[in-house]
């Protein structure tokens, strides 16, 4: 059965360029004084669950782009994204493409108000490029446009934001919803009882994710949704939610939805029930658990790609150089099957799988989007 794909790029009136800017001839070291008063600067080390205050980590003394990344909150996936960003920014600094870079985490728990204050502090530092992972796709529109008005190249990451400026680089949430349920339905032969594990209910990404799954289920009349849980894309939360309802449920063939597979497996095992098809997280701990447990029932892993920050950085360099790119760049997700687990054997316990973007693969993605095609993933 075929499922329609969500369009991978939207029609834009004007591609983003920065022809009026000459950032390669400027050096702007990001002063830490004003920023430190309102933010924590992350080191971006995968496996760390906290952010330490400190100075900007990538200050340099040559020509090139100054780049600031504003992040709304910290979790394992975001730390992997930050780590990949810093590794690439450091390599580009050695090549003279980047002069300095910083990653600044807003205080508070994903507070749009706090992040807006942080971004205004960064605007005063006048970076060439401002990359933002927004706490809110609506509340931060005004400050994003302030940054554009200050002649800063703005890249919006991991969010769908409608603005008059800035370039959006993201994964597609409806497609994520699709790849988080279709393999499970196929694994159970299109028949049986399932539990839907929902994400952060009330958020725009989860709404797209969930609605796409409901659309797909319309084509599977022999599949019964026995229950929904609010797992919040978290393994321990999914486990707790399932423990509370499993006793009242019939045999469950699959628990598709927003990751959490390790907690789902543990909930079923503790109840003495057969393990259903699940969706694992893409971090090293979850993938090792999957492999060590010997689960071979069609379970899989699917998640957004923290490597999108690397792609976004290369896109920023192209915009700053005056090249045209689409207003929105939608990139592929991480999908891992049983036969691919060996490729991630060296992943750290708290590190998330990420696509290995480089300049060539970003060029290929942009070319595909320009031709109306889905962006291809870089080779493993």
Residue 308 confidence (pLDDT) above 50: yes
Minimum mean pLDDT among 49-58, 68-77, 153-162, 265-274: which range?
Answer: 49-58
What would the pLDDT profile of 129-155 be if each residue is shown by its tens digit?
A: 999 999 888 999 999 999 999 999 999
Minimum mean pLDDT among 27-41, 155-169, 216-230, 260-274: which range?
Answer: 27-41
**CATH 3.40.50.2300 assigned to 23-171+305-332+355-370:** yes
Give me the residue spans of the domains in the chain. Answer: 23-171+305-332+355-370, 175-303
What would the pLDDT profile of 109-122 be if each residue is shown by its tens digit?
A: 778 999 999 999 99
pLDDT of residue 26: 34
8-state DSSP, 347 = -
pLDDT of residue 200: 86
What would the pLDDT profile of 284-300 be if each residue is shown by its tens digit?
A: 999 999 999 999 999 99
pLDDT of residue 17: 58
Mean pLDDT for all residues in the chain: 86
- 27-49 burial, b for 16+ CB within 10 Å, e for fewer? ebebebeebbebbbbbebebebe
Cα–Cα nearest to 354, from 44, 41, 16: 44
8-state DSSP, 283 = B
The answer to whether 129 and 66 are in contact (CB under 8 A) is yes
Q: Domain 175-303, what fold? A: Rossmann fold (3.40.50)
pLDDT of residue 2: 28
- Fold matches, 23-171+305-332+355-370 and 175-303: yes
Cα separation of 289 and 147, whole Å?
Answer: 44
The answer to whether 122 and 106 are in contact (CB under 8 A) is no
Find the largest Cα–Cα distance for the chain: 67
Q: How confident is the model at residue 310 (pLDDT cuts 50, 70, 90)?
A: very high
The mean pLDDT value for 67-85 works out to 93
The answer to whether 145 and 116 are in contact (CB under 8 A) is no
């Amino acid at each position: 059965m075929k499922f329609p794909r969500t369009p991978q790029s939207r029609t834009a009136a004007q591609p983003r360029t920065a022809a009026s800017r000459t950032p390669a001839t400027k050096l702007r070291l990001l002063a830490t004084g004003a920023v430190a008063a309102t933010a924590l600067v992350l080191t971006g080390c995968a496996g760390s669950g906290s952010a330490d205050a400190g100075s900007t980590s990538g200050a340099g003394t040559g020509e090139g782009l100054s780049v600031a990344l504003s992040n709304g909150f910290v979790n394992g996936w975001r730390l992997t994204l930050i780590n990949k960003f810093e590794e690439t920014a450091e390599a580009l600094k050695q090549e003279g493409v980047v002069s300095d870079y910083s990653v600044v985490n807003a205080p508070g728990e994903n507070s749009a108000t706090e992040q807006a204050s942080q971004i205004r502090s960064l605007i005063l530092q006048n970076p060439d490029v401002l990359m933002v992972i927004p706490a809110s796709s609506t509340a931060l529109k005004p400050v994003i446009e302030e940054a554009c008005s200050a002649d800063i190249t703005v890249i919006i990451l991991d969010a769908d934001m409608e603005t008059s400026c800035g370039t959006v680089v993201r994964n597609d949430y409806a497609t994520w919803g699709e790849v988080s349920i279709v393999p499970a339905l196929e694994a159970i032969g299109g028949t049986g009882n399932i539990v839907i594990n929902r994400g952060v209910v009330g958020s725009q990404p989860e709404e797209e994710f969930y609605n796409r799954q409901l659309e797909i289920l319309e084509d599977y009349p022999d599949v019964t949704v026995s229950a929904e849980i609010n797992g919040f894309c978290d393994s321990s939360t999914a486990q707790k939610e399932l423990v509370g309802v499993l006793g009242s449920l019939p045999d469950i063939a699959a628990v598709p939805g927003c990751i959490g597979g390790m907690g789902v497996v543990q909930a079923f095992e503790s109840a003495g029930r057969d393990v259903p098809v699940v969706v694992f997280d893409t971090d090293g701990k979850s993938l090792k658990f999957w492999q060590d447990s010997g689960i071979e029932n069609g379970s899989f892993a699917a998640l957004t790609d923290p490597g999108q920050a690397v792609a976004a950085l290369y896109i920023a360099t192209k915009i700053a150089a005056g090249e045209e790119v689409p207003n929105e760049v939608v990139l592929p997700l991480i999908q891992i099957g049983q036969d691919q687990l060996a490729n991630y054997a060296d992943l750290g316990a708290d590190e998330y799988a990420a696509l290995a973007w480089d300049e060539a693969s970003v060029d290929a993605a942009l070319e595909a989007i320009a031709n109306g095609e889905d962006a291809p993933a870089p080779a493993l």
